[in-house]
Amino acid sequence: MGYADFMADDAYPQKHAGASIEVLLVNENNPSDVTIGATTGINWSEDYEAIPIEEAGSEGTDEIVQGRHSISGSIPAFWTPEWGDKLPTRSSFIGKSYTVIERIGPDWPNAGTVVNAITGCRINRLGNSHNARGVKTVDLAFNGKTRYNGIEWAGLSGTM
């Protein structure tokens, strides 16, 4: 199914539960290397610099200049030894770049449809947590270069 089919589907304008969205961290040097796949969610934000310009003698802002753009986020996920071995360490994090993909999960209508993709991601923090009765988790923080929404990604990947 292409993205155009998804847009024509009744599910397109509807709200989706977070559980219906799957998050993948894909090694950009080897796209078949999915570093992590069982996330408990994702948090990301894009910042668009907007600088108000006020000229001397004016009573307020004359224009707003747009400039830099940045993306930062974090991915809380369940830890497995396999994924733990794929995550960067002090000796291996330099030069590793990832794409974070948000797509509709396998047990939902329109499974596999990408709704967001953030490319050029570099991990800048890696945390772990566990307790005696809970599941071991990992938390990855990243900075990214470019976010593509679903329709943009479909156009780039030829899945329109």
Q: What is the pLDDT of residue 40?
A: 86
Q: What is the pLDDT of residue 39?
A: 86
Query: What is the SS3 assignment for 32?
Result: coil
Q: What is the pLDDT of residue 88?
A: 87
Residue 144 and residue 160: Cα distance in Å, rounded?
A: 24
- Asked whether the beta carbons of 101 and 62 are under 8 A apart, the reply is no
Tell me the sheet residues that pair with 100.
25, 118
- Please list the rounded mean pLDDT of every run of 10 residues in the chain (160 residues): 93 93 93 82 94 91 92 94 88 92 94 97 94 91 97 96
Q: What is the pLDDT of residue 37?
A: 63
Residue 50 and residue 67: Cα distance in Å, rounded?
A: 6
- Asked whether the beta carbons of 120 and 88 are under 8 A apart, the reply is no
Domains of the chain: 3-157 (2.30.110)
Q: What is the pLDDT of residue 26?
A: 93
